Structure 1
Amino acid sequence: MKQLLMLLMAILLPLANFAQIKYENFSSTKLGETRQIKIQLPRNYEENQDKRYPVVVVLDGDYLFEPVAGMIDYYAYWEDAPEMIVVGINQDGRRTEDTYYSEQNFLPEGKGAKFFEFIGMELLAQLDQKYRTANFRIIVGHDFTSNFINYYLLKPNPIFQGYINLSPDLAPEMAKRITYSLNSAESRKWFYLATGSDDVPALKEGILGLDNQLKSVENELVEYKFDNFQDATHYSLVGKAIPAAIENMFGVYRPISTKDYNEKLLQTSVSPSEYLIEKYASIEELYGIKKKISLNDFMAVYRAIEKTRNWEEYKNLYKLAQEHFPGTMLGTFFEARYEEETGNPKRAMRIYQNAYGQKNIAFLDADFMLAKADAIKKDFGY
């Protein structure tokens, strides 16, 4: 287990070094003590003054923060997940009392209740005040702390939308309570659950029981994912589960995949440009992030239009390209292709020529655009 975590850290820490990691002491009125927290700000946080970021709260921050922060930085680097503010709460020597619950009703009690309020009423409020946070939050826990994160799910209007459960040590009634909360959820929720073939037997039994219950959840607002990793122990499963959870929670955020291209964009019943617009509208609605349409996604839609010969789709596409990549040849090229394929070759030729002086992008440069104009001129004798 230690060797796996060391390998994971060796891969991720060089990436995390480019992000801003801060260590702060938080004086809590609720707890009556000072707690150490770690904060990883996204790359170029200071430069992107108009940008807001989702927040990930990591319990067991003394050992879980670095794997989570590193993987989030890695996925964000490749634009497979948004950049996020990651906050780890150190609980070394305190996790048992932090997660304490009543033996009568199995809800947080004593120090556990105070720790619950510390996160919900103090920590998140300060983060919102001090940093540019978006209204999308995830919480992560492991065994005791994994059970604990689900208490937030039980509240009306939960303050977290995403829950990453790494081998939870479930309290009595918790499986039933989670199932009820997800069934009755009135806003979007992401729930991830993981165990391993070599997990602690008593924990695994409860986790498999929870999975059986959650399979019956039929709420369209809930995205549920379960993993049972082969040959993974209670500790090594963490290294496999974190990336799996990130991929599950941010599926719509990722660039258009080969699968999406083949199964959606190439279908004649689907408008590729509308699919693109709806994809980015969903990103803003789900995660509170206004994301610029990526060049990769423009190229995917372009290839789909060429493949299906649905030339009218270029109307929306060239307007979007002019909005998201102003001053480049992208929108000009799409507009020229529209005119070229809908019976206006002379206008297409002039549009290709007008690209001279605009910025190169993807495969588009002055030579390419002028060659397209010359080809039309030659074909039609202009």
Structure 2
Amino acid sequence: MHKKLLLICLLIAPNLFTAQTVYKSLTSLKLGEERELKIQLPRNYEKNKEKSYPVLIVLDGDYLFEPVAGNVDFYSYWEDIPEMIVVGINQSDTRDSDAFYDSERFLPSENGAKFFEFIGMELMTYLDSQYRTAPFRVIMGHDYTSNFINYYLLKENPLFQGYINISPDLAPEMANRVAAALTKSESKIWYYLATAEEDIPSLKEDILSFDNQLKIIENKNLKYNFDNFPKGSHYTLAGNAIPKAIEQIFEVYGPISIFDYNRTLLQTSVSSYDYLVEKYETIQTLFHVNKQIRLNDFMAVYNAIEKTEKWEELHDLSKLAEKHYPKTMLATYFEARFEEETGSPKKAMRSYQKGYGQEPISFLTTDFMLDKADKIKQDFGY
């Protein structure tokens, strides 16, 4: 039995682990030295020549890159998040000087200032010139480097839209500065913060106070999430924080969840059809992905329309289904249900009959569609 399982694993492994990791040395004029990079490219990057990808920069790449890259590959494989280019910066010998700030203004100084410019002026320029990057950018750091990533948020036009802070070792005034920047931000910002019950006590105390500042901010452009994990040390909490942060920052990309279905789509004041359209327009705008609407999302919206009895929306849903799933029965079924519920049984019957010859999809089959037509014929004597 064990030999069979091993054989299966060996057979499927080449298909599962196909994300490409390349190792580069980038010469920095700002730093006056070379920096080692780890770059994971998405699966089928070479085949999808017209596709561009968001970028996730990982500081402390010598130990954070692999868990981050693995999570990105896993979640994107299941289409819960977009495919991304993940870039780790190795800092095993330089992290203290890279994230250095002065003791008066508490801003990047000396090598810290040079490293700040290296990322903004050299690394991002290099990535944009060498790879097909989309303008949505996320940066991640841990304790000392987590504090450092927030300096980009303080710029008038932040370089990054997403910030993943794992147990930050906050500089004096950093909490107030970030809170002020997030309060007045006129562009969309995704901000994630995490600590754990067994985190370093002094850091945890400051992080909890920081969370109290951030969670009261009222700004529609801010998407803020915080986790205080019940288990985990200063280092092991990263294993929990990385997937949670990735999920939450890219939440809009994922399929409609049961939570969103119950909380949003079943509310009578909400148009389920508009919610679906806006969701995929947001995906296009943020991530530059012209994504086909998931069949499950179509069905979630259809079920919500059924429950809220907003029958007029089925007509629009049918047109949208025709665009995304042409030649299938999906659009025909939605249109037939619309006609059936709005007082046109004869039109509904003909629409169901139209399903004959179209491609089956989901629960829709030729027999199902013809049975629906026959029932109307019997009920109304057509």
TM-score by length of 2: 0.90
Tell me how far apart the structure 2 counterparts of residues 16 and 37 of structure 1 sit (CA, whole Å).
24
Q: Structure 1 residue 219: deviation in Å? A: 2.1
The residue that corresponds to 1:68 in the other structure is 68
Q: Structure 1 residue 64: deviation in Å? A: 0.3
Tell me how far apart the structure 2 counterparts of residues 346 and 371 of structure 1 sit (CA, whole Å).
14
The CA deviation string for residues 145-176 of structure 1, in whole angstroms up to 9 with x for no partner, is: 11111110111100101110111111222122
Higher alpha-carbon deviation: 136-145 or 264-273: 264-273
The residue that corresponds to 2:256 in the other structure is 256
After superposition, the Cα gap between the structure-2 partners of 1:261 and 1:272, relative to the gap in structure 1 and judged at 3 Å, is: same
Counterpart code for 1:23: Y
Contact 1:196 1:233 in 2 (8 A): yes
Contact 1:52 1:133 in 2 (8 A): yes
Question: Helix, strand or coil for the counterpart of 1:252?
Answer: helix
Higher alpha-carbon deviation: 238-247 or 125-134: 125-134
The residue that corresponds to 1:378 in the other structure is 378
The residue that corresponds to 2:237 in the other structure is 237
Question: Helix, strand or coil for the counterpart of 1:101?
Answer: coil
Counterpart code for 1:229: F
The residue that corresponds to 1:303 in the other structure is 303
Alignment of 1:232-381 (within 5 A): 232-381=232-381
Tell me how far apart the structure 2 counterparts of residues 221 and 280 of structure 1 sit (CA, whole Å).
18
Counterpart code for 1:37: L
Tell me how far apart the structure 1 counterparts of residues 207 and 237 of structure 2 sit (CA, whole Å).
14
The CA deviation string for residues 313-343 of structure 1, in whole angstroms up to 9 with x for no partner, is: 1111001111111222211211122223323
Q: Structure 1 residue 116: deviation in Å? A: 1.0
TM-score by length of 1: 0.90
Contact 1:16 1:70 in 2 (8 A): no
Alignment of 1:27-38 (within 5 A): 27-38=27-38
Tell me how far apart the structure 1 counterparts of residues 220 and 139 of structure 2 sit (CA, whole Å).
21
The residue that corresponds to 2:9 in the other structure is none
Tell me how far apart the structure 2 counterparts of residues 372 and 45 of structure 1 sit (CA, whole Å).
45
The CA deviation string for residues 74-104 of structure 1, in whole angstroms up to 9 with x for no partner, is: 2222332222111111112111111122223
Counterpart code for 1:332: T
Higher alpha-carbon deviation: 313-322 or 352-361: 352-361
The residue that corresponds to 2:3 in the other structure is none
Counterpart code for 2:31: L
Tell me how far apart the structure 1 counterparts of residues 15 and 108 of structure 2 sit (CA, whole Å).
37
Higher alpha-carbon deviation: 201-210 or 143-152: 201-210
Tell me how far apart the structure 2 counterparts of residues 319 and 51 of structure 1 sit (CA, whole Å).
26
After superposition, the Cα gap between the structure-2 partners of 1:216 and 1:300, relative to the gap in structure 1 and judged at 3 Å, is: closer
The residue that corresponds to 1:108 in the other structure is 108
Higher alpha-carbon deviation: 61-70 or 278-287: 278-287
After superposition, the Cα gap between the structure-2 partners of 1:32 and 1:15, relative to the gap in structure 1 and judged at 3 Å, is: farther
Tell me how far apart the structure 1 counterparts of residues 358 and 89 of structure 2 sit (CA, whole Å).
49
Contact 1:58 1:139 in 2 (8 A): yes
Tell me how far apart the structure 2 counterparts of residues 352 and 253 of structure 1 sit (CA, whole Å).
33
Tell me how far apart the structure 2 counterparts of residues 202 and 256 of structure 1 sit (CA, whole Å).
39
Counterpart code for 1:119: I
The CA deviation string for residues 101-130 of structure 1, in whole angstroms up to 9 with x for no partner, is: 222322112221111111111111121222
Listed as ranges, the gaps of 5+ residues in structure 2 are: 1-12
Contact 1:15 1:74 in 2 (8 A): no
Q: Percent identity between the aligned chains?
A: 64
Listed as ranges, the gaps of 5+ residues in structure 1 are: 1-12
The residue that corresponds to 2:161 in the other structure is 161
The CA deviation string for residues 182-229 of structure 1, in whole angstroms up to 9 with x for no partner, is: 122111111111111111122222222322322342222112222221
The residue that corresponds to 2:8 in the other structure is none
After superposition, the Cα gap between the structure-2 partners of 1:14 and 1:71, relative to the gap in structure 1 and judged at 3 Å, is: farther
The residue that corresponds to 1:207 in the other structure is 207
Aligned residues: 370
Q: Structure 1 residue 73: deviation in Å? A: 2.0
The residue that corresponds to 1:9 in the other structure is none
Q: Structure 1 residue 288: deviation in Å? A: 4.2
The residue that corresponds to 1:96 in the other structure is 96
Q: Structure 1 residue 250: deviation in Å? A: 2.3
Does 2:39 match 1:24? no
Tell me how far apart the structure 1 counterparts of residues 292 and 317 of structure 2 sit (CA, whole Å).
14
Contact 1:98 1:115 in 2 (8 A): yes
Contact 1:15 1:73 in 2 (8 A): no
Higher alpha-carbon deviation: 128-137 or 344-353: 344-353
After superposition, the Cα gap between the structure-2 partners of 1:14 and 1:70, relative to the gap in structure 1 and judged at 3 Å, is: farther
Tell me how far apart the structure 1 counterparts of residues 317 and 355 of structure 2 sit (CA, whole Å).
17
Tell me how far apart the structure 1 counterparts of residues 283 and 205 of structure 2 sit (CA, whole Å).
36
The CA deviation string for residues 250-273 of structure 1, in whole angstroms up to 9 with x for no partner, is: 232221122222232222222221
Tell me how far apart the structure 1 counterparts of residues 137 and 352 of structure 2 sit (CA, whole Å).
46
